[in-house]
Amino acid sequence: MQNQATESSSDKSAIYSQVNQVIARIRPAVQSDGGDLELVEITDDGVAKIRLHGACVGCPSSTMTLQMGIERNIREKVPQVVAVEQVR
């Protein structure tokens, strides 16, 4: 029987991997507009923290991109993620 810390670490690693796979599919569209994104962390309560780079920084559309594009895709493919937040 695994201990809870090991299970939790394994589960978190799987969630990171799944979120990074979604980001890899989104990245070309973001890069085509001169931006990029990275997964910074996933909190214990299921919030994915994303950092935007390049043209996305300061872009008035970045909030819409984060919510309607990135968050929607991540939550659809990785149900353990309950929200996506931008970090600087």
Q: Please, what are the domains in the chain?
A: 4-87 (3.30.300.130)
Report yes or no on whether pTM surpasses 0.85: no
Q: Which residue has the higher pLDDT, 2 or 41?
A: 41
Nearest Cα neighbor of 78 from 35, 25, 3, 6 is 25
CA distances from 40 to 2, 4, 19, 67 (A): 27, 24, 11, 17
Q: What integer pLDDT is reported at residue 69 of this predicted model?
A: 86
Q: What integer pLDDT is reported at residue 50 of this predicted model?
A: 94
Q: What is the pLDDT of residues 25-79, one digit of tens each?
A: 999 988 998 999 999 999 999 999 999 998 888 788 878 777 888 999 999 999 9
